[in-house]
Amino acid sequence: MAIKLSVITDEIDPDLDRALDVMLEYDVRGAELRQLWDKNIADAPQDYLDRARTAVQSRGMHVVGIASPFYKCDLPGSAPEGPAGPLHSATARGLADQIAMLERMIATARFFDTRLIRVFSFWKRGPLTPEVEETIVDAFAEPVSLAEAAGMVLGLENEHACFVATGAQVARVVDEVSSPALRAIWDPGNALFAGERPFPVGYEAARGRIAHVHVKDARIAPGAPAPEWTIVGQGDIDYAGQIAALVADGYDGYLSLETHYAGEATKEASSRVCLEGLIAAAQAANAL
C-alpha cells in the first residue's frame, strides 16, 4: 500500500499559490490548510476561501484537512492568560468564542470538500491531572455532537504546548470521549518535545485511533535543555520505522509535512529538504 503525502501549505510559504507550485514539483497533491496568504483559515474571509479553492482545484490538487486553532485557549474554569504557544496568524480567542469558530470551520471544511478538522486540548498551564483530563473530555461533548451531526471528524493533535501532548494522552482522551467524530492527529515531533519516545512507544499507545499524521523531526543534543527541530530523517525519530508500521497497520490517511525546521535560508528551502527527507523515509519503508 502506498502512503499518501500532503503538506501544511504555509510551512512552505504563506502565499498559497507558491506553496502549491512547490508541492507539485514533488507530485504532492494533498494540501492541509492553516494560513492563507496573510490570514489564518479561522479568520479568512470568503474571498480568500474562494481564491484558495480555485488555486487548489486548478492544479488538480485537493484539501486533506483544515488545520484550525480550535481549543487553543485556556481551560474551562481557568482565568484567561493569553496564548501559551503559536497561533500561526490566528486571532486569539477565548473559550466563549470557540464553538462559533468551530461551526465556521465545519462550514469551511465542507466548502473544501474535506471531513477533517484539526483541534487541540487547551493551553498547558500545569500537569495533566485526572481532573484536568476530565474537564477536557467534558469540553468535547458539544464539539463532538456538532461534528457528528455534520459528518465531520475532529482530529485531536498531541501538542506539547497544550495539555494533551503525547500518544498515550491523546489515546486516553479519544477513548474517553468514545465517538467516531473524535480521532487522533498523531504528531511524533510534538511527542518528542513532550518527553515521550514517539516510535514505537507513543505510536503503540495511539495506534488504532489515528486519522491523520503530522511529520516533523527533532533531535536532542547532549546537554541541551530541549529538543531542536531538524531535517526530516536527520533527527531522533525513526520515520522509516514509523511509516512502515503505519502501512502494516493499514493506515489509509495522510502523512502531512509540518516542517518547523528553519535551518535553511528560507521557509521554502527548509521545507524542500524536509519534504525530500520525508519522501526518502517513505521510500525506505517501501511505502512509495
The 10s digit of each residue's pLDDT in 19-41 is 999 999 999 999 999 999 999 99
**78: which DSSP letter?**
S
CB 193 within 8 A of CB 227: yes
Q: Where are the beta strands (DSSP E) in the chain?
A: 4-8, 30-33, 35-36, 39-40, 62-70, 116-119, 153-157, 182-186, 210-215, 217-219, 228-230, 254-257
The mean per-residue pLDDT over the stretch 188-206 comes to 98
Tell me, what's the pLDDT at 2? 82
**What pTM value is reported for the model?**
0.97
Residue 54's CATH number: 3.20.20.150
Domain containing residue 108:
4-284
Phi-psi region of 178 (alpha: psi -120 to 50; beta: other; left: phi over 0): left
Tell me, what's the pLDDT at 51? 98
Calpha distance 182→144 (Å, rounded): 7
Task: Give the chain's domain count.
Answer: 1
- β-strand partners of 33: 66
Tell me, what's the pLDDT at 80? 86
Q: What is the pLDDT of residues 80-100, one digit of tens each?
A: 888 888 999 899 999 999 999
Instruction: Give residue for cell 500537569.
Output: 127
pLDDT band, very low/low/confident/very high, at 215 (cuts 50, 70, 90): very high
- β-strand partners of 212: 185
Q: Select from 140, 179, 197, 144 the least CA-distant residue to 163.
A: 140
Q: Is the pLDDT of residue 205 over 70?
A: yes
The mean per-residue pLDDT over the stretch 213-217 comes to 98
Q: Where are the alpha helices (DSSP H) in 7-140?
A: 16-25, 46-58, 98-111, 130-139
Tell me, what's the pLDDT at 1? 66
Instruction: Give residue for cell 497544550.
Output: 162
Q: What percent of the chain has pLDDT over 90?
A: 93
Tell me, what's the pLDDT at 224? 85
Burial class (CB in 10 A: 0-12, 13-18, 19+), 39: middle
3-state secondary structure of 270: helix
Tell me, what's the pLDDT at 79? 86
Q: Is the pLDDT of residue 241 over 70?
A: yes
pLDDT band, very low/low/confident/very high, at 263 (cuts 50, 70, 90): very high
CB 147 within 8 A of CB 180: no
Q: What is the pLDDT of residues 126-152, one digit of tens each?
A: 999 999 999 999 999 999 999 999 999
- 197 CB neighbour count, 10 Å cutoff: 17
Tell me, what's the pLDDT at 82? 84
Calpha distance 84→75 (Å, rounded): 12
Burial class (CB in 10 A: 0-12, 13-18, 19+), 204: middle
Q: How far is CA 99 from CA 172, 186, 274, in A?
A: 23, 23, 35
